[in-house]
Structure 1
Amino acid sequence: MVTGTTSPSTRYERISVSPASCSIKSEYVIASHAFKPQYKCINYIPTWEQRKLGEVAPLQRGFDLPVNQMTPGPYPVVMSNGIGGWHSRYMVKGPGVVTGRSGTIGSLHYIEQNFWPHNTSLWVTSFNGNEPRFIYWLYASIGLERFGSGSGVPTLNRNDVHDLRVGFPCDVAEQRRIGTFFSRLDSLITLHQRKRESRIIRVRSFIWLAGDISGIGVSAYQPEKRRPYDRRQHQRRNVVLRLLRAMDQRIQGRCNS
């Protein structure tokens, strides 16, 4: 729908446009030969921008802290492979995102509390108004290990990472929803992995126990206590072990599916 009105005194023309394809209302005002667009968008989809990673969440090298200078305290010392100790002081207020700089490349850590980033790590110095947990998953999605250099001890050059262009939503609420979704998914995967490992350990412990009772374990570790050969017992043992192995494979298949 297009409507227009004119006035000789002010010499302006107002046009209101309401496209049917989207709920966007635009108003164009022409006054004294000056063009001034005014936009009012309703029910729009939040935009995504593409920027360099260094502009979104830059990295910085951690701080030196020899092991002999650590004093017991409540603050974690985050190294390249995770929390390597606890200290009485912190250098960065949480939450924070830390990755390995030297040694372990590509491992990311999200720290809720205040912490001390070690000099073997890189930490996000500023989130620039973005959601910290979303920044964590953003870094996790780019594959930092491919930026490692060095044949002996791999090292991550932050300048190479900063030049990488990434797409991210400008709306912080959308960032928060994405970060929460992937965090819940990660927790669910971890829970199923723990259940799978627990089941496999129980089944294999039972297999070891059955083998020990039947003489397999005893003969393996204490040959002098090997029991005399009994054909029927040997047959029963093989049947039990086959069933237990089949059960083990079935449980692993269910856990992997």
Structure 2
Amino acid sequence: MNKNLPEVRFKYFKDEYERKKLNQVVEKLKSYPLSRDVETSELTGFKYIHYGDIHRGKSTLIVDEFVLPSIKKGDYMPLQKGDIVIADASEDYQGIATPALLLTEPKQSIIAGLHTIALRVDEQYSPIYLYYLLTSPIFKKYGYKAGTGMKVFGISYSSLVKFESLYPSKKEQDKIGNLLKQLDDTIALQHRLIDQQQKYKKAMLQKMFPKKGERVPKIRFEGYKEEWESKALEDIVVNIGTGKSKYTIHNKSSESPYEILGSTSILGYDTNFDYEGDFILTARVGANAGTLYSHSGKVKITDNTVYIQNDNLDFIYYALDNIDLRKLSFGTGQPLIKASELKALKILTPVETLEQGKIGAFFKQLDNTISLHLKKLEDYKQLKKALLQRMFV
């Protein structure tokens, strides 16, 4: 493999890459030690990029300058389209030299603020390419070595611009940068879709389950008109119980076909089990007390968990998901939820099991949709990670 070329490259580009230090690619601009006390709610026509906003993701690929804080007017040297602002301080090495890029020409005066290094990219190079180069593993590795500090880590301009990398032609740089930008846009869209679906689910949980003191939900399936009934959970489900203290938590193996689950081991659940009936697990001990988890398969559980078994499990799951089960816990450092407390818990339920089933199926389908979007989001993130590793040298 040619070490002067990346592992992945667009077709039709055949030229060798050129090795350059960063100081051959950029020039330093003035930044100002402006802290939060210069911020104002007034529209002054002046905004700034604070290193804290870069770390929080508020200032990264900046296309809408209105997301930036307004500051008091002053005699500043403003930034322009294509300028890169780097956070020169971080609480960990992973955040060293995190960049922000002005993608559009600002309509207001944008200033580089506290703990930042401002750079203007030479016209022979692509700002969008350089931005992604500064987020790539090869630069992060360099930043880790060049960074200094104990509790707060930093990088100086002189250390930063010694970073050496290989650059293709500007045309190829633009193509690489725009591909990664398009991928970032797709990731942002996935985040919005997930957020919308989660908000929709939350709203529907509130509308399809009656509030305290009510017997009829605001929204229900056509053909059902009877008031819901208030029943103790033990009168609705098949069984409620607690796991056994004799079990030791472990994964399924050839010697034991049963995975053993406890309150700290069910933060996520794996569907790759031999299916043998459904039940719900709710954490009984610790900070996760009252958190519900669904599981299907051959498993046994420790006394740190409470299980609920039922034929119409989905409705019960979402009915409980709409209740703050932490109110049933007692204790401080290690709050407990007992099976006996769950048994006596009063919940509202439709008279007809068919309506229960429809409600449960509706929310399960919503969760499946959210899971699908989450899977796509993770796939896009992994693709971006792979491209950052393989398109920069």
Question: TM above 0.5, one fold?
Answer: yes
Is 1:117 equivalent to 2:112 in the alignment? yes
Deviation track 1:34-70 (CA, whole Å, cap 9, x = no partner) reads xxxxxxxxx9833311222333236667212244445
Structure 2 portions without partners, runs of 5+: 1-11, 60-67, 212-216, 218-227, 231-318, 329-344, 377-393
Where does 1:46-65 land on structure 2 (aligned, <5 Å)? 46-57=15-26, 62-65=31-34
Q: Aligned residue for 2:154?
A: 155
CA distance in 2, matches of 1:177, 1:74: 34
Deviation (angstroms), 1:190: 1.0
For 1:197 and 1:230, the matched residues in 2 are separated by 28
Q: In terms of Rg, which structure is larger?
A: 1
Does structure 2 retain, via aligned residues, the 8 Å contact 1:207–1:241? no
Q: Which consecutive residues of structure 1, in runs of 5 or more, have no partner in the other structure?
A: 1-42
- Alignment map for 1:130-141 (pairs within 5 Å): 130-141=125-136
Report 1:25-104 matches (<5 A). Answer: 45-57=14-26, 62-69=31-38, 72-80=43-51, 81-82=53-54, 85-87=69-71, 88-89=73-74, 90-95=76-81, 96-103=83-90
Relative to structure 2, which stretch is displaced further, 76-85 or 185-194?
Answer: 76-85
Q: Which amino acid aligns with 1:86?
A: S
Secondary structure in structure 2 of the residue aligned to 1:183: helix
Q: 1:50 to 1:222 in 2, by over 3 A?
A: closer
Q: Which structure: greater strand fraction?
A: 1
Distance in 2 separating the partners of 1:151 and 1:207: 47
Aligned pair in 2 of structure 1 residues 233, 151: CA closer, same or farther (>3 Å)? farther
Q: Do the aligned residues in 1 keep the contact of 2:35 with 2:114 (CA within 8 Å)?
A: no
Distance between the aligned counterparts of 2:324 and 2:70, measured in 1? Answer: 46
Q: Residues 208 and 64 from structure 1, CA distance in 2 versus in 1: closer, same or farther, beyond 3 angstroms?
A: same
CA, structure 1 residues 234+174, in 2 after alignment: closer, same or farther (shift >3 Å)? same
Range with greater deviation from structure 2 (240-249 or 126-135): 240-249
Q: Separation in 2 of the partners of 1:165 and 1:121?
A: 20
1:194 offset after TM fit, Å? 0.7
Alpha-carbon separation, structure 2, partners of 1:247 and 1:136: 40
AA partner of residue 248 (structure 1): L
Counterpart of 1:249, as a letter, is D
TM-score scaled to structure 2, two decimals?
A: 0.44
> Post-superposition shift, 1:150?
3.0
Q: CA deviation at 1:199?
A: 1.2
**1:168-205 residue CA offsets vs partner (Å, 9 max, x unmatched):** 11x22222222222222211221122112211221232
Alignment partner of 1:143 out of 140, 147, 158 = 140
* Contact persistence 1:73–1:86 (CA under 8 A): yes
- Structure 1: how far apart are the matches of 2:152 and 2:355? 50
1:119, distance to aligned residue in structure 2 (A): 2.5
Please identify which structure carries the higher helix content.
1
Specify which of 168, 172, 175 is matched with residue 174 of structure 1: 172
Equivalent residue letter for 2:172: E
The higher relative CO (CA closer than 8 Å, separation ≥ 6) is in 2
User: 1:253 and 1:231, CA in 2 relative to 1: closer, same or farther beyond 3 A?
Assistant: closer
Give the alignment's TM-score, normalised by structure 1. 0.64
Supply the AA of the counterpart residue of 1:210. M
Distance in 2 between the 1:251 and 1:44 partners?
40
> Match of 1:52, as an amino acid?
K
Q: Which residue of 1 aligns with 2:369?
A: 251
Instruction: Give 1:128 deviation, angstroms.
Output: 5.7
- The code of the aligned residue for 2:184 comes to D
User: Offset at 1:230?
Assistant: 6.5
